[in-house]
Amino acid sequence: MSFDYDLFVIGGGSGGVRAARVAAQAGARVALAEESRYGGTCVIRGCVPKKLMVFASEYPGAMADAQAYGWTVHAGGFDWSAFHGKLEAELDRLEGVYRGILSGNNVTTFDARATLADAHTIELSTGERLSARHVLVAAGGHPVRPDIPGAELGIVSDDIFKLDALPRSILIVGGGYIACEFACILNGLGVQVTQYYRGAQILRGFDGEARGLVADEMIRSGVDLHLGTNVLGMARAEGGVRVTPTHGEEKVFGAVMFATGRVPNTAGMGLEAAGVELGRNGEIVVDDYSQSTVPSIYAIGDVTDRVNLTPVAIREGMAFVETVIKGNPTPVDHALIPTAIFTQPEMGTVGLSEEEARDQEPVEVYAASFKPMQQSFAGRDDRVLMKLIVSRETRKVLGCHIVAPGAGEMIQLAGIAVKMGATKEDFDHTVAVHPTMSEEIVTMSAPVRTG
C-alpha cells in the first residue's frame, strides 16, 4: 500500500518538531500539522516566555543588592507593555525559527487542525485527507480550571502572557510548578500575590526539606501563602473577582489564576474511534517505544502524560525516530531526570527525595543550609540548601536537591554524576570550586541524619 507520507506528525511543539526534523533528515517523507503557533507550549506559552518573565522579575532584588554594594541606583517602575512588546517580538522570532527548521528539512507543514479518520488517514480542518504509514501524535496538553462556581472568571497560565496590564493583586490557586513559579514572578514584578494551596505543603512529591525552604523564602519575599486552603466559589466584583475560600474571609482580587494542572490534548481527535486506548486523564497509553494500542500510531510528550517536560518530549521524539524510521528499537529512558523549578530561589532536583529514598532502603542524608555570600553581604537573610541522599549499602547518591539562585544550572551538572551512578565518595574526591555555593555539594563530611 502506498502512502502520501512515511510519517505524519500532529503537533508542532518541541517534541513534534524534533521528531519531524530528524525523521526527514533520515530520508523519510514527513508532514506536520499545527493548529496554533509553531513552538508549542514550551516556546509560545510556557518555558521560554516564563523564563524571560523570571529574569524581568529578578531586577528589583538585583537593584536593591546593587545599592547595598555601593551603587547609586534610581529604579523606576516596571513597564509591562514595554516588556510585553519585546516578549511578543521574541516569540515571533522563535516561531519563525521553528518554521524554518521544518521547511529547511523538507517537512511539509499544514497550518490546520488534524484529526484521525483511521489508523493511517489524517483529516485536516481544511478538508484535505492524507495518508501516512506512521502517525506521531505530539499534540501536547492544556491547563484546566477546577469545577467550581465562577471558575470561568479565572485565568490560566496561557493567559498571563497575553495580559494588557498586570493586575494590582492576584490569587494563584495551586501548589505545583506553575503556581509557585508565577507566584514568585508576579511578586517580583510588583503584583500583590496571594497563593492558596489545598495540601499541607507546596510542590508535593519533591524533597520535603527543599520544598519547605522554597515555601519559607517565598513567604519571606512577600507571597501571602495559605496552605490547606482552596477556593469554593468566585463571583465578579468591583475591582476584580470576589473569592470564597474554604476557610477565612471572602476577598476581592484583581485577578485569579488557576494553576491546578494540565490535561492531554486528545479530545475530538478521532483517537478512540481509530482504536487508540486513552488513560484516565485522557492521555494516550503508550509502551516503552511510545507506540499506542494501534501499531501505526505513536505518541510523545505531554499528550502521553508521562514526564511532562520539554527535554523529555524531545528525547521521546528522538527515540521514536530511532525505533520507527531508523529501525533500531530504542526505549525511552525516564530514570533520573534532572529538573528545575524556577521559583525564587530556584530548586534543582534529580533522583529520589529523602522521603522516597527512606521508603526504599537505608540512607544517609547530607545537607548544608546557609546564607550565601553575595546576598548575605547585601544584608539579605536568604538561605540556600545543598542536599544529598546516599544509599548506605551501595554508597550511590540517590538524590541531589539544591535550593539556591542558579540551582537549575547547578543541577544540570550534578545530574550527570548522579546519572552515572556516582557514589558519595566520588563527590568527596572532587575538589571544591571556591568560593561558590555549590562547593558545599563536595564538602559535606558527616551525615545530618541516617535512616
Nearer to ligand NDP, 411 or 441 (CB): 411
**Cα four-point dihedral sign 41, 47, 51, 52:** negative
- Return the amino acid letter for 353: S
Name the one range near ligand NDP by CB under 6 A: 7-15, 58-66, 255-263, 345-353: 255-263
Whole-number Å distance between alpha carbons of 368 and 387: 6
Q: Does 315 bind ligand NDP (CB under 6 A)?
A: no
Minimum distance from CB of 312 to ligand NDP (Å)? 9
- Return the amino acid letter for 426: D
Minimum distance from CB of 114 to ligand NDP (Å)? 24
String marking each residue 361-400 x if it binds ligand NDP according to CB under 6 A: ----------------------------------------
Q: Which residue is nearest to ligand NDP (CB)?
A: 176
Judged by CB under 6 A, the residue of 30, 160, 309, 318 near ligand NDP is 309
Nearer to ligand NDP, 198 or 380 (CB): 198
Q: Is residue 16 a contact partner of residue 95, using CB atoms and an 8 Å limit?
A: no
Minimum distance from CB of 207 to ligand NDP (Å)? 15
Q: Does 176 bind ligand NDP (CB under 6 A)?
A: yes
Q: Is 226 a catalytic residue?
A: no
Strand duo 5-10 + 129-137: pairing:
parallel
Q: Does 204 bind ligand NDP (CB under 6 A)?
A: yes
Q: Does 334 bind ligand NDP (CB under 6 A)?
A: no
Element (H, E) at 42: helix 40-45
Q: Does 178 bind ligand NDP (CB under 6 A)?
A: yes
Name the one range near ligand NDP by CB under 6 A: 10-18, 173-181, 315-323, 395-403: 173-181
Residues 6+ apart with CB under 8 A from 430: 442
Q: Does 212 bind ligand NDP (CB under 6 A)?
A: no
Judged by CB under 6 A, the residue of 27, 100, 199, 451 near ligand NDP is 199
The number of residues in the chain equals 451
Nearest to residue 178, comparing CAs of 165, 192, 164, 197? Answer: 197
Minimum distance from CB of 179 to ligand NDP (Å)? 6
Whole-number Å distance between alpha carbons of 128 and 119: 16
Nearer to ligand NDP, 275 or 282 (CB): 282
**Residues between 215 and 254 with contacts to ligand NDP, criterion CB under 6 A:** 230
C-alpha cell at 78: 516596571
Judged by CB under 6 A, the residue of 160, 340, 367, 418 near ligand NDP is 340
Residues 6+ apart with CB under 8 A from 180: 195, 202, 203, 214, 218, 341, 343
| 123: phi then psi, degrees, rounded to nearest 5 | -110, 130
Whole-number Å distance between alpha carbons of 28 and 30: 6
Element (H, E) at 15: helix 14-25
Q: Does 108 bind ligand NDP (CB under 6 A)?
A: no
Q: Does 179 bind ligand NDP (CB under 6 A)?
A: yes
C-alpha cell at 288: 516503552
Judged by CB under 6 A, the residue of 60, 146, 222, 254 near ligand NDP is 146
Whole-number Å distance between alpha carbons of 184 and 178: 10
Catalytically active residues are 434
Residues near ligand NDP (CB under 6 A) are 146, 173-179, 181, 197-199, 204, 230, 259-262, 308-309, 339-342
